[in-house]
Structure 1
Amino acid sequence: MGNNSNVDFERQFGEFLGSSEVYEGGETTDNSENLGSLRSDISATVHSKEASMLFTGKEKSKTNKFGIPGVHGFSKLANKLEQAIRRDDPYADYFFYNIHNEISLAKRSVIEKREKFKLWLRNELPSNIQMTNSLNMSPLKFELKFNSQLAFQVTYLIMEQDEYFRLLRLAQHASLIPNDVTHDNVRKEQTTTRRIMSNIFAYKYCDVTRNDAAANNQRWQKAMESMKAFDLPEEFLNGTLRSIIAPPISTRPEVDTDAKETSLDPAATVANLEGKSDILTTTNTTNAAQITDSAELIQAERFG
C-alpha cells in the first residue's frame, strides 16, 4: 500500500471510530497486570495427498536414512533462526530475508499457474459440462501451533499448492491431461517447497551481533569461518535490508554464551529431527543463490 492508501485508511478508520476516546459501555480498568495472553486456534485443512506429504514430512526409513522434515519440523528450526534475529545476528536476518523471498516467489508462481490452468480448463470443456471443485471426503486438519513467521508463510504456500494439486488431479481424472503431465507438475511443486524448507539447514548459529561485526572481534572471526560459504552483503551487516515480517531486533542480553549455544543451535535440533547435524556449505555466490545452492545439495542428499 502506498502512503495515500494509508492516509485514506486512517481517515476512514477514524470516522468509523468517531471522536469519542472513552469507552462508555461499562466499567474499565487501567490495571494492565490483569490482562492475560492472547490465544487463537489456527488450523489448516489439506485435501490432496501431495500437500499432506509436504506438511507432515516423512519418517526415516531404509531408503531415506535422514527422513524429510515437514512444516512442524521446519518451524522448530525457523523459530531458532528468529530467536537469533532478535539477538541481532546479521546472518540470521540474511537467511530469513532470502527464505521469505523464496516462499513469496514460489507462492506467486503457483497462483499464476493455477489461474492459467483454470482458464485452460474452462476453454477445454464443452459448455454443457460442469465440474465442481475436487475435495477430499476425509481431509486432514492440522493445528498450526507454532510461533515462527516463516512456518506460517510455508503453510500458506502449501495451501496454494494443495488447490493446484487438486485441480491437476481433477483434469487427469476427466481425461483432459495425461498422467505424466500431472505427475511432473506435482513433483516440481513438491521439489520447490522442499528445497525452500531445506534452506534452513545451511544456517549455523554463531552467537554474534552486528556490534561484533563492527568490532571485527574474535567471535565475529569464528562466525565468518563457520559461515564461509556465504558473503554477507553490506545491507545486512548494517541492518538496512530486512524482511518486512522479520522479528524486531531486541537488545542482546549479557548472558553466558556457552550456556545459550546449546539451546539456540539449530544443528542440535536437526540431530533430533533427522539424526544428522552436519551443515553443508558450497562455493561463494551471492544472496539467495548461495542459500539455494546449499539447499540443493542438502535436498539431493535427503530427498533423492
Structure 2
Amino acid sequence: MSSDTDIDFDTIPPSAHLARPGGLQGDVWLTLQTYQAQALIRGRRAEEGKPVIVGLLGFAERLRTLWQAARMDDPYADWWLLKVEEGIAGSRAQLCRLQQLLEALIASAEGLEVSIAHSERPQRVSLQFANPYAFRAAQLLADYDQVVCTAMTLRHVGMTIPDALLDQLKGSGRWVRRVLALPQGYQSLGISRKDVAQGTPSVNRARERMGEVPMEVLQGDRLPSLRPTKFPQSGEQDHDPLVET
C-alpha cells in the first residue's frame, strides 16, 4: 500500500460535493537580539535633516500593492518583484559571507571558547504577512541581527576586527535598508500586458516614471519565482486552484 507521501496531489480532482476547507493559519515569530535590527522593524519617518527609513512593516505593506498588481498581470509589478527577490537574495548572500568571516575570527581565539552573545530580553515579533517576500525580508533582518551579535561579541572579548570587515559591518545595515526601500520605486497605474501591447496612455506614464520594462519580463521569459495566481482576463480560463501560488 502506498504511503501518503506517495500521493500525487496534482492528479486529485476537486470534489463538487465537498465543502472547501477554510484558509490555512499558523504562527510565525521573528526573534531579534539587537536594537540595530529592532529599529528596522518600523523604520523611521522623515525628519528634519533625516530621510525616511522604510522598515519591515512598511516594506510588507507596500508589497501588498505589488502583489495585487502582479495578479492583474502588470509587467511592472513582476519587474519589481524580481528586483525584490534578487535584492533579498544578494543581501542575504553578503551577510552570510560576512557572518562566516566573523565566526572564523571568533574560532581563531587561542585558549578561549567564545559563544555568540544573545540578549537577556530578545524582542519577539509576530509576523502576519500576506506576501512570501515579506517573510524572506524578515529572514534577511534575522541574518543582519546575527551579524551584529557576532560583531559585538568580538568587541566584548577584545578581538581586533580587520578594517576590511569593519567597512563591511558599517555597510551591512545599508544592505538591508536598500532592500526594504525597493518597493517604494513602484507606482500602481492599473496597467496590464495587454495595455502595453496597445500602448495606452497609462503605459506611457509608467515608462516616464519607472522606465522601460525589460522585454524578457514583458514576454514572461524572466519572472519572479513566487507570483500570485493571475486573475483571468476576458476570454481566458481561470487557473486550477491546486497550482495556485
State the TM bucket, normalised to the shorter chain: 0.7 to 0.9
For residues 62 and 80 of structure 2, the distance between their equivalents in structure 1, rounded to whole angstroms, comes to: 12
For residues 182 and 61 of structure 1, the distance between their equivalents in structure 2, rounded to whole angstroms, comes to: 31
* Secondary structure at the counterpart of residue 124 of structure 2: strand
Match of 2:149, as an amino acid? R
Normalised TM-score (structure 2): 0.83
1:57 aligns with: 43
For residues 93 and 118 of structure 2, the distance between their equivalents in structure 1, rounded to whole angstroms, comes to: 23
Q: Equivalent pairs: percent with the same residue?
A: 20
| Cα-Cα RMSD | 2.7
For residues 29 and 6 of structure 2, the distance between their equivalents in structure 1, rounded to whole angstroms, comes to: 38
The yes-or-no answer on 1:220 pairing with 2:203 is yes
2:138 aligns with one of 151, 155, 168: 155
* Secondary structure at the counterpart of residue 33 of structure 1: coil
2:122 aligns with: 139
Distance 1:90 1:122, change over 3 A: same
For residues 5 and 82 of structure 2, the distance between their equivalents in structure 1, rounded to whole angstroms, comes to: 39
Please show how residues 45-194 of structure 1 align to structure 2 within 5 Å.
45-64=31-50, 67-123=52-108, 125-126=109-110, 128-177=111-160, 184-194=167-177
Structure 2 unmatched runs, 5+: 9-14, 235-245
Per-residue CA distance 1:242-264 (angstroms, 9 max, x = gap): 011122322258xxxxxxxxxxx
TM-fit CA distance, 1:224: 2.4
* Secondary structure at the counterpart of residue 119 of structure 1: helix
TM-fit CA distance, 1:109: 1.5
TM-fit CA distance, 1:50: 1.2
* Secondary structure at the counterpart of residue 19 of structure 2: helix
TM-fit CA distance, 1:166: 0.3
Q: Decide which moves more: 204-213 or 185-194.
A: 185-194
Per-residue CA distance 1:101-123 (angstroms, 9 max, x = gap): 01101101211221122123212
Structure 1 unmatched runs, 5+: 1-13, 22-28, 254-304
1:238 aligns with: 219
Distance 1:240 1:249, change over 3 A: farther
CA contact 1:172–1:179 (8 Å) conserved in 2:
no
Normalised TM-score (structure 1): 0.68
Per-residue CA distance 1:5-49 (angstroms, 9 max, x = gap): xxxxxxxxx95437899xxxxxxx985436222111111000011
CA contact 2:83–2:182 (8 Å) conserved in 1:
no
* Secondary structure at the counterpart of residue 221 of structure 1: helix
